Structure 1
Amino acid sequence: MLNKSVSNVVSVSPNSEADENLENVVGLSASVLLSVVERGILARNQVNSLMPITTLGYWVWANMVGSIREALIPLGWKSILEHGLEKVVSSERMIAIVCKSAVQGVGDLECKLKTRGGSGPVVKQLADDNLTIQLPLLDDGLIEFQLDEHLDENPIEIWMLIYQIDKENNEVRAELAKPIGYDVHDSLDEWEKRFIIGSISFDDLPDDLSFEGFEQTDEIEIEVERKVNGE
C-alpha cells in the first residue's frame, strides 16, 4: 500500500481555465470526455435480462473504451492492448488513458476516490510507475519518439477515465484522474491529479434505460507470461 496525500482536485466547468488545462493534458475538453461516458451508458439498451448479471457492467465499460478510441485515434493516438490492459496512447503527449469504474468518490470533493477492487498487478504497477515518471504535460518541451520502437524505454503516464453509476442519485459521474497508489484490496485510491468532468442524469437518457440489478464490472485482466526453454 502506498501512502501519499493528494489534494489536487479540480472541478471542470465548460470553457473555464480548468477545461483549458484538461485539454492541455489530453487534447479533449470535459464535454467531449463526458460524451464518451454517455455513449458507454447508452450501451445499456444492448443488454437484456437473459444475459449474465456481469454483462451490463462489462458492456458499458467496453463501449466507453471504444468511444474514447474513436475520439482520439483521429488525433494521432494508438489503440494498444498491453499485458491484458486496454489503453489508448499518445506518443506525442507521452500519456495513455484507461477506462475504469469506481465504487465511491467520483465527482465528490469530500470523498476518497476509489476504483473497483481486484485490479491486479498490472494496474498496480501503473500506479507505481506514475510515481516515478517526471514528464511534461503541457505543449512546450514535449519529447517525441516512435511508440512501437520505444514503448518499453520511454515510460508513459497513465490517466484514467473513471465513472461511477449512482442508482441512488439517479446519475453517472465521471473524472479524468492520474493514479499513484492503491489499497490492500487492489483498489486505486491515491491520485496525483483529479479533473472532475461532470455528471449525466438518468432523466436526460432514454426512458427505457434501466440499471435495475446492475453490477458494476469492467475489464477482465489476464496475466500473460512468456515461456522460457519450452517450460
Structure 2
Amino acid sequence: MSKARFQLVHPNFAPRAKAISEPTLVEARLQQLSPDLSTELLYNAVLTGLGSRNDTTLASAVTAAGVQQWLKTVEALRTQLSAMGWHIHNERNCPLISTPDRSVSIVVMTGNRETGKLGAEDPTNQTEKGAVVERFVHGNRQLELFNQDSLKLAKTRQKETQVWVFLYHYDQTVNEVRFELAYPTGFGKKKIEEWGERLILGSIPNQPDDFDVAGDRPNAPPTVDVEPKTGTF
C-alpha cells in the first residue's frame, strides 16, 4: 500500500493571482468586463493624475503630490466612464464607478511597489482600508466560491457586483507610474491579501522639467474605517 503524501501549507500562504500582461489579451479581457473599457482609457486616467502630481511645487505640503495624483486619477476615470453611462457613487467615502447594469464596479487605490509588474509577489494596497473595502472583497470571494463564471452571475443577478481595483504605484526610484486592473478576493489586517486576477497595463515614465516631485507620506489620503451602510453597489 502506497503512503499518502501530505504537503504542509504555511498559514499565511496566499495563492498567486492569474496575471495577464500580453497587450492583446489584456485588451480582450477588458472588453469582456465592459465594451467601454480599454487600455487607452485607463492610461489617460493615470496620465491625468500624473499631471496633477507634477503641478505641486516645493511650497506644497509634503503629501500633496500623492494626494493630488490620487484625486485626479479618480476624477479622470469617473469622468470618462460616466460619459458612457456608468454610475458615479460613493460608499462611505469610497469613490466607485459602476457599469450601467451594476455588474462591474471600479475603485482607484494606490498600490505598493509590486503593482504593475510580474514580480515574486502580488501587490497590495498602499494605505490601510476599512469596512467598506473588506465588504466588497468578501463579496467578490463569495462570487468566486459559488460560481465559476462570477461575471455572468453578476450580470444576471442585479444584487451582485464584481468590484475591481484600479491600482497604481508611483515608483520614485525610476520615476514612473505602473498600473493594473485587479480583482481582489482576500482581505486581512486592513490590506488586500489575495487577487483572483490581475490585468497588467504597463507604465508611464515621468520626467518633470523644472522641479523635483514632492515626497509621498502617505501616497494617498488615509481611509476612515467606518461601518458600511446597508445595500449593495
For structure 1, the residue ranges without an aligned partner over 5 or more in a row are: 146-153, 227-231
Q: Give, in angstroms, the shift of residue 41 of structure 1.
A: 0.8
Residue of structure 2 equivalent to 1:172: 177
Q: Aligned with 1:53: secondary structure?
A: coil
Q: Which of 151, 162, 172 is equivalent to 1:137?
A: 151
Q: Aligned with 2:140: secondary structure?
A: helix
What is the Cα-based RMSD across aligned positions, in Å? 2.6
1:57 and 1:216 in contact (8 A); partners too: yes
**Cα pair distance change 1:71/1:2, threshold 3 Å:** farther
1:92 and 1:143 in contact (8 A); partners too: no
Q: Which of 23, 28, 31 is equivalent to 1:20?
A: 28
Q: Aligned with 1:23: secondary structure?
A: helix
- Cα distance in 2 for residues equivalent to 1:213 and 1:193: 31
Q: Which has the larger radius of gyration?
A: 2
Deviates further, 35-44 or 208-217: 208-217
**Cα pair distance change 1:137/1:208, threshold 3 Å:** farther
**Cα pair distance change 1:24/1:113, threshold 3 Å:** same
The percentage of aligned residue pairs carrying the same residue is 25
Q: Aligned with 1:103: secondary structure?
A: coil
Matched, 1:77 2:91: no
1:92 and 1:144 in contact (8 A); partners too: no
- Cα distance in 1 for residues equivalent to 2:215 and 2:103: 39
Residue of structure 1 equivalent to 2:38: 29
- Cα distance in 2 for residues equivalent to 1:117 and 1:210: 23
Matched, 1:112 2:122: yes
Q: Give, in angstroms, the shift of residue 180 of structure 1.
A: 1.1
- Cα distance in 1 for residues equivalent to 2:210 and 2:49: 15
- Cα distance in 2 for residues equivalent to 1:124 and 1:2: 18
Q: Give, in angstroms, the shift of residue 223 of structure 1.
A: 5.1
- Cα distance in 2 for residues equivalent to 1:91 and 1:10: 26
- Cα distance in 1 for residues equivalent to 2:48 and 2:117: 22
Residue of structure 1 equivalent to 2:200: 196
Q: Which of 29, 46, 64 is equivalent to 1:55?
A: 64
- Cα distance in 2 for residues equivalent to 1:141 and 1:65: 24
